[in-house]
Amino acid sequence: SQISDTETSGDRHWPRQNSLSLREWDIPFHELELGDPIGQGRFGTVHRGIWHGDVAVRLLNMDQIGDEKVLESFKLEVATFRKTRHENLVLFMGACMNLPTLALVTSMCKGLTLYTHLHLRKDKFSMNKTVIIAQQISQGMGYLHARGIIHKDLKSKNIFLENGKVIITDFGLFSVSKLCKIHGRSDALSIPPGWLCYMAPEVMRSLKPSSEENDELPFTMASDAYAFGTVWYELLCGEWPYKEHCPEAMIWQIGRGMKQSLANLQASRDLKDILMACWAFNVKDRAEFSKLLKILERLPKKRLLRSPSHPVHLSRSAES
């Protein structure tokens, strides 16, 4: 973000002001030992790798080989990543900043994602643990926001649990992704399952029918808070909101400010209030992470301690 000085020094590839510090984060691709792919996401493939120990390598497939402008934008994003030092954020180790192979290198998360815990393994966390997880997410997110970084893709798939500790990944990746070709991109808007429910109404309303036009969605810190609301909902009941709705219905309803009914969610008022603080329709009414953290810390300890092994769950008995 500070790479504004285009005055070139001896080396035209590195903007002068940042050349030294940014170059320190450059990892020559040949130094990486690339291992098996871990998985493929919307934004390219993540591989196991070895670089002074275990690392995760995200390869960005560039289609415009040799495009210097793309490279400059990539470096700008990298300049942002190196500002992130918090124990609840994945450790950014460096990047391969030479075309045609651009890659981001981070520490390897050893645990499972919140998505795997909640949706695949159907794990139930105690209320106590649920609150601790939410606090740690808020702490990491509060830090990002304090540094002026918007995550843009906060979701349970991008939150790891490592020995009970939250590690948030993929912040700012959405911005990098627009630089590279997304596999299978076409004229039709392809919506990956479980993406829409994290999208704030104002972002939802900006969705365009074709994927190519969706590079500039109006993400803000408030839209990150909305996404956190959805993660909190998943933590509370192990499901995504709107799970029985088709994408078209979700876009229409969420865009107009309708919310997932909480009638069947068996949780106390204060737990539901957190949802409402995150899912507020008006951007101005949405809570900031510093405030969410305070609310989470103030949840009555007694109740949490009394039934540590009783997770809240969906129940037909109407309470609300």
Which of these segments, 5-13, 104-112, 256-264, 267-275, binds ligand ATP (CB under 6 A)? 104-112
Task: Name which of 10 and 192 has its Cβ closer to ligand ATP.
Answer: 192
Q: How many residues would you count in the chain?
A: 320
Q: Across the chain, how many H-helices and E-strands are there?
A: 11, 8
- Give the helix, strand, coil percentages of the chain, each rounded to 5: 40, 15, 45
Q: Assess 108 for contact with ligand ATP (CB under 6 A).
A: yes
Angle between the 289-298 and 221-237 helix axes, to the nearest 10 degrees?
30
Q: Assess 56 for contact with ligand ATP (CB under 6 A).
A: yes
Q: Which of 35, 41, 100, 247 binds ligand ATP (CB under 6 A)?
A: 41
Residues 135-194 that bind ligand ATP (CB under 6 A): 157-158, 169-170, 192
Which of these segments, 16-24, 105-113, 182-190, 307-315, binds ligand ATP (CB under 6 A)? 105-113
Q: Is the peptide bond before 100 cis (omega within 30 degrees of 0)?
A: yes
What is residue 61's three-state secondary structure?
strand
Q: How far is the CB of 17 from Mg ion (least distance, A)?
A: 31
118 binds, among Mg ion, ligand ATP, none (CB under 5 to 8 A by kind): none
From 5, 63, 123, 153, active-site residue = 153
Number of neighbours of residue 6 by Cβ within 10 angstroms: 9
**Which has the closest alpha carbon to 198: 283, 278, 116?**
278
Distance CA(46)–CA(125), nearest Å, equals: 28
Q: How far is the CB of 106 from ligand ATP (least distance, A)?
A: 5
Please report, to the nearest 10 degrees, the dihedral formed by the alpha carbons of residues 55, 56, 61, 66 taken in order. -30
* Residue 153 annotated as catalytic: yes
Which of these segments, 40-48, 127-135, 209-217, 248-256, binds ligand ATP (CB under 6 A)? 40-48
Q: Which of 17, 25, 26, 38 binds ligand ATP (CB under 6 A)?
A: 38
| Contact string (CB under 5 A) for Mg ion, positions 155-184, x = contact | ---x-----------x--------------
- The structure tokens 């035209």 sit at 12
Q: Assess 90 for contact with ligand ATP (CB under 6 A).
A: yes
Distance CA(68)–CA(4), nearest Å, equals: 16
Please list the active-site residues. 153
